[in-house]
């Protein structure tokens, strides 16, 4: 099926991204201007790479489970609520964990560029969790007022699939899905805002005077990783914004093998050539060198 091929095509795009994670570590390893290695950055980038891989594998598994495989054969007589919770736990928690890692990476870059603080690892996780919990629950109570659940959807041909749709019955037992979406939303928005703040600091002379060119390269790498997460972020938001009937029609077309149904994950595939271009032009100093930034890598 074309749709099945498209799902596996995402795995092909994951491989160069994971290789770029490895190349990033190799290219940027060594001592910085202060003589100390920024171990927290490498910890965050490896964490993001691992979460990236597991998120894709679990997403691929749940897509096939929801769209192509009979649920009854996999779950048997499991309670309906537990079926829903299983899918929710497998996909949303991983997305949430990865956004945590991206936010920690952004905050790590902010402290390195603006304050030249290289020893920011354990405290960053604590601060990230605290800010994300506060922001997530605030968004959940003041913005997301609709409960979410995976529903059994008849496809019209005697079969059914499970997919996350708005809960028209306002059932309360899976409110955690809305909390998790708020979590990832808050982490993503705060991460992007952090990079904007870094850009303002750099453009208007707010960067720490002892920061060398290598730190700017590391920051560009972190920002590109954040951009690669945009497709998953949009995919989560789409579950709230797209009309129910449009979702059903799209799912039917996907199950029939339609090659024209767009996935938000396809944005991730588009990030691969962009990532490679920026890795060559920015990370290796061609762009930064023309900008007059001093310091050696």
Select from 215, 232, 239, 240 the least CA-distant residue to 271.
232
DSSP state of 209: T
| Nearest-angstrom CA–CA distance, 11 and 180 | 25
Under the banding of pLDDT at 50, 70 and 90, the label for residue 16 is low
Q: At what angle do helices 266-278 and 230-241 cross, to 10 degrees?
A: 150
pLDDT in tens, 26-83: 655 544 444 344 556 666 666 666 666 666 666 666 555 555 555 555 555 555 555 5
Select from 45, 30, 43 the least CA-distant residue to 213.
30
Is 270 domain-assigned?
Answer: yes
Q: Domain tally for the chain?
A: 1
Beta bridge partners of 152: 162
Domain carrying residue 107 = 2-29+36-290
Is 96 domain-assigned?
Answer: yes
Q: Read off the pTM.
A: 0.59
Is 295 domain-assigned?
Answer: no
Is 296 domain-assigned?
Answer: no
Q: Which residues contact 9 (CB under 8 A, 6 or more apart)?
A: 269
Asked if 33 contacts 97 with a C-beta cutoff of 8 angstroms, the reply is no
CATH number of the domain where residue 100 is located:
1.20.1070
Is 103 domain-assigned?
Answer: yes
Select from 265, 231, 296 the least CA-distant residue to 10.
265
pLDDT in tens, 91-114: 666 666 777 777 877 887 888 787
């Amino acid at each position: 099926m074309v749709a099945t091929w498209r799902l596996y095509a995402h795995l092909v795009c994951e491989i160069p991204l994971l290789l770029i994670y490895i190349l990033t570590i190799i290219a940027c390893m060594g001592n910085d201007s202060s003589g100390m290695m920024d171990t927290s950055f490498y910890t965050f980038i490896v964490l993001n790479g691992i979460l990236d891989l597991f998120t894709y594998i679990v997403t691929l598994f749940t897509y096939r489970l929801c769209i192509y495989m009979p649920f009854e054969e996999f779950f048997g007589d499991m309670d309906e609520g537990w079926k829903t919770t299983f899918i929710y736990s497998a996909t949303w928690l991983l997305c949430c964990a990865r956004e945590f890692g991206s936010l920690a990476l952004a905050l790590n870059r902010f402290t390195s560029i603006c304050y030249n603080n290289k020893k920011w690892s354990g405290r960053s996780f604590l601060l990230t969790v605290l800010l994300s919990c506060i922001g997530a629950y605030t968004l959940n109570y003041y913005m997301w007022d609709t409960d979410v659940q995976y529903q059994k959807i008849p496809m019209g041909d005697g079969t059914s699939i499970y997919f996350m749709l708005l809960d028209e019955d306002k059932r309360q037992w899976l409110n955690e899905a809305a909390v998790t979406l708020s979590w990832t939303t808050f982490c993503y928005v705060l991460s992007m805002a952090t990079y904007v703040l870094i850009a303002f600091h750099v453009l208007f002379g707010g960067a720490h005077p002892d920061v060398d060119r290598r730190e700017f390269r590391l920051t560009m790498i972190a920002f590109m990783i954040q951009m690669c997460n945009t497709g998953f972020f949009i995919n989560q938001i789409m579950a709230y914004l797209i009309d129910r009937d449009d979702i059903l029609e799209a799912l039917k077309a996907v199950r029939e093998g339609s090659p024209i149904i767009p996935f938000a994950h396809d944005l991730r595939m588009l990030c691969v050539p962009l990532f490679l271009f920026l890795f060559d032009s920015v990370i290796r100093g061609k762009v930064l060198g023309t900008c007059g930034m001093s310091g050696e890598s």
